[in-house]
Chains A and B, each alone.
Chain A
């Protein structure tokens, strides 16, 4: 049995939905968390520490009947910049693309500075991505740079 077919046994194919592939193995649970998939009411298949030619070990998440919006894809990119999204319709791959960290992020990230105005009034947060590797964001408002990303609730 080839490695490929072993992987297929671990995480079976889905008819419609999205596969998030090439997630760093240690980030899989975080990806599930930021996308709120713990409370998703359809099938979610998760694989951790699967063999990957490119990365050694990888994680994979298959979400049935789910097609992610740009905001969610940006979240995935911030946590798992190596991830690939595969959109499946009728068991066919209709779209496959690597996620990309955007140059600017609006609304999804929380500023780490407790004294930033965005943590005191109802304001849509904005960040400039000043470095993609390592990831570094600068708050558009308070101008603080941060490497630890926290997402808005």
Chain B
């Protein structure tokens, strides 16, 4: 198995199927024992140029539980960026202060660029609407944990499939595992052609639906997404689609027993709260899995875990 030591994670396609499985295996070790003092001599730079709750806190929790020192910022207004410092200079400076850099940035491509400037390993914690590979890794871990395998699953994705970066990455990753995809969305928010082409080129199948009920009986995973108000320039267009899919507990009769509902969170109203108490709800555990997966990524990339 190839080592992930020093291997940047910018886009989910930077890693291979074997790399995914390697990370999932290490994550399951951390789930059993999340507090290990194995990074006590390491400094993790966590720099967030835009707001984040789950991603930032789970990264910082992951690093802290392994004994690493965490430096960084979550409010760029309080840094030299506000004095006009370039991303290039910020990353150069941080490379000399830390052993690994975790960054979220509002501009697409910022992560790839920063990783080329950095002299230490780099993890993308989200670059604009482009990539969010650690979310994808925790989605894979959640699917693996709930299904016992990643191979040959029926994956339904629901809601904003046009702008949702998590679903695009997850499709790319799951194409390594022979999945069959079911895309449920309003016409305005259908899965983009390049993503669908990726499925076809992988010799896999996808079907598109308008009706959420149609996929419930056979799906192994229902991946719900939020319709993102900020993506619409016309408020009327948003109003038209905002409540188009609301998953309720009553709709789950007849679903497969192993079916689990995932959601990258935050949710608005697309999953009714009565679903939370059903055995199919998995989105809160999914968020918790983010800590173990990020522990696995940091420690593998730093070469501390093989």
Q: Which residues of A contact B (CB under 8 A)?
A: 111, 113, 115-118, 120-123, 139-145
Contact indicator per residue, chain B 109-132, by CB within 8 Å of chain A (1) or not (0): 110110000000000000111110
A65 smallest CB distance to B (angstroms): 39
For residue A145, which residue of chain B has the nearest CB? B194
Q: A123 to B86: give the CA distance in the assembly, Å.
A: 11
List 3 A-B pairs, minimum CB-CB distance, nearest first: A141-B109, A142-B108, A142-B109
In the complex, residue of chain A having the shortest beta-carbon distance to the beta carbon of B88: A121
Residues of chain B with a CB closer than 8 A to A142's CB:
107-109, 127-128, 130
Known: A143-B11, A145-B194. A121 touches B87 (CB 8 A): yes
Q: Which residue of B lies closest to A138 (CB)?
A: B194
16 A-B pairs (CB sep. < 8 Å): A115-B106, A115-B107, A115-B129, A117-B87, A118-B109, A120-B107, A121-B86, A121-B87, A122-B86, A139-B109, A140-B109, A140-B112, A141-B108, A141-B113, A142-B109, A143-B11
Residues in B whose Cβ lies below 8 Å from that of A111 = 109
**Are A121 and B108 neighbours in the complex by a CB distance under 8 Å?**
no
Residues of B within 8 A of A140 (CB): 109, 112
CA distance A123 to B113 in the complex (A): 8
Are B194 and A116 neighbours in the complex by a CB distance under 8 Å? no
The residues of A that contact B11 with a CB separation of less than 8 Å are 143
Q: How far is the CA of A10 from the CA of B110 in the complex (A)?
A: 51
Residues on B lying within 8 angstroms of A by beta carbon are 11, 86-88, 105-110, 112-113, 127-131, 194
User: Knowing that A117-B108, A140-B112 are A-B contacts, what are 12 other residue pairs whose CB atoms are under 8 Å apart, sorted by A's residue number?
Assistant: A113-B108, A113-B109, A115-B129, A116-B107, A117-B113, A117-B127, A121-B87, A140-B109, A141-B108, A142-B107, A142-B127, A143-B108
Closest A residue to B114 by beta carbon equals: A117
CA–CA, A116 and B131, complex, Å: 12
The interface centre, meaning the residue of B108, B109, B128, B130 with most chain A CB atoms within 10 A of its CB, is: B109
CA distance A126 to B86 in the complex (A): 19
- Across the interface, which residues of A come within 8 angstroms of B88, CB to CB? 121
A143 to B105, CA, bound (A): 15
**A123-B113, A142-B109 are contacts. A115–B128 as well, Cβ < 8 Å?**
yes
Q: How far is the CA of A122 from the CA of B117 in the complex (A)?
A: 13
Q: B87, B110, B128 — which one has the most chain A CB atoms within 10 A of its CB?
A: B110
Give chain B residues whose Cβ lies under 8 Å from the Cβ of A121.
Answer: 86-88, 113
Residue of A116, A143, A144 most packed against chain B (CB within 10 A): A143
Q: How far is the CA of A145 from the CA of B128 in the complex (A)?
A: 16
Contacts of B110 in A (CB 8 A): 117, 141
Q: How far is the CA of A75 from the CA of B249 in the complex (A)?
A: 58
**Could you tell me if A115 and B112 are in contact, using CB atoms closer than 8 angstroms?**
no
Of chain A, the residue at the smallest CB distance from B86 is A121
Bound state CA distance, A122 and B113, in angstroms?
A: 11
Bound CA span A56–B284, Å: 65
Find chain B residues with CB under 8 A from A145 CB: 194
The interface centre, meaning the residue of B108, B131, B194 with most chain A CB atoms within 10 A of its CB, is B108
Closest to A118 in B: B109
A117 touches B194 (CB 8 A): no
B196 to chain A, nearest CB (A): 14
In the complex, which residue of chain A has the Cβ closest to the Cβ of B110? A117
Q: Which residues from A are CB-within-8-Å of B112? A: 140-141
Name the one of A122, A123, A144 contacting B108, with C-beta atoms under 8 angstroms. A144
Say how far A143's CB is from chain B's closest CB, in angstroms. 6
